[in-house]
Structure 1
Amino acid sequence: MKLSTKGRFAITAMMDIAIHERSGPVTLIGISERQGISMSYLEQMFAKLRKGGLVEGIRGPGGGYRLARRPDKISVANIIDALGDTMNLNRLKQHPSDSEEELPLTERLWQEFDQKLHDFLDGITLDEFANHPEVQKVMGKPDLRQHRARHHFIFDNAA
């Protein structure tokens, strides 16, 4: 089973907001630069995430996006559901050799599997990701781009 690119990017962008919104609204440009996701793709996703009640847009200078709910109240399943990007395995086509009698049973099994998977993803929140030890370790490191820019500035002024 594989999560779609759209679903992975949306989860990544939402994690980015959960991590960075502590210092104010998060811009799509910032997410794009940090996560390598195109702006047009982000704009499409955020329209759906906003309609799904997961993010709020803040207008004006210093604007951007913030989570519409606390990160411990937004699950991975919420994000996928807001996109309409269900991982419904019922869409898998049955082999033409499957008999008519087997089809309903097989569909019921896939539906049960889908529900268990959805329940599992519903138990994983953005808060868990944002507070993961590896994320915290990376967040504690200085941004290398700022570090390089600072040193470049110092060398330019020294001359």
Structure 2
Amino acid sequence: MILSTKGRYGLKAVFELSLNYGEGPVTLKKICDKYEISENYLEQLFAKLKKAGYIVSTRGAYGGYSLAKQPQDVTVGMILRTLEGEITTSECLNKDVCRRESVCATRTIWSKIEKSINDVIDNITLLDMIDEHHKITAED
């Protein structure tokens, strides 16, 4: 399973907002320049995140985007699911009943992998990412 640019770029952009939490809005241009993301593309991602209630926009000369919630209240899973949809390892897990479920040797494996992924992304908050970032940058 590979996340699309929606999830990867969106998480980077929201992480940038979390780094600046409480310091005022961050311009789209600043985020796009830092992460080399198209402004048009990021606007589309932010529209989804805004609609979901994770970010807010401020108009005007000092406008931009900010987190709508505290970093410790937003998980990686929340952001990824908003942008990507449900995270799954196999289409067979999305069906209510697979015709071959009773004889499928791999379904259990896909299910365990999916559960592990969801456990990770649902238990890492933006604050955890900030803490990890500070550890990495302190080592430099």
Compute the displacement of 1:118 (Å).
Answer: 1.1
- Verify: 1:86 aligned to 2:68, yes or no: no
- The structure, 1 or 2, with the larger RCO (C-alpha pairs under 8 Å, 6+ apart) is 2
Write out aligned runs for 1:10-159 (5 A).
10-91=10-91, 100=100, 101-103=102-104, 106-107=106-107, 109-132=109-132, 133-135=135-137
Compute the displacement of 1:67 (Å).
Answer: 0.5
- Normalised by the length of structure 2, the TM-score is 0.80
Structure 2: how far apart are the matches of 1:13 and 1:49?
Answer: 11
State percent identity of aligned pairs: 34
Distance 1:115 1:52, change over 3 A: farther
Number of equivalences = 132
2:95 corresponds to: none
Q: Residue type of the partner of 1:126?
A: L
Distance 1:136 1:29, change over 3 A: farther
Q: Residue type of the partner of 2:37?
A: I
Compute the displacement of 1:135 (Å).
Answer: 4.2
CA RMSD of superposed structures (Å)? 2.5
Higher helix proportion (structure 1 or 2) = 1
Distance 1:7 1:84, change over 3 A: closer
Distance 1:53 1:135, change over 3 A: farther
Q: Residue type of the partner of 1:113?
A: I
Larger Rg: 1
Deviation per residue, 1:98-124 (Å, 9 max, x gap): x93534x64454244323311211111
Structure 1: how far apart are the matches of 2:137 and 2:126?
Answer: 12
- Normalised by the length of structure 1, the TM-score is 0.71
Structure 2: how far apart are the matches of 1:120 and 1:75?
Answer: 10
Mark the runs of 5 or more structure 1 residues left unpaired by the alignment: 93-98, 139-159
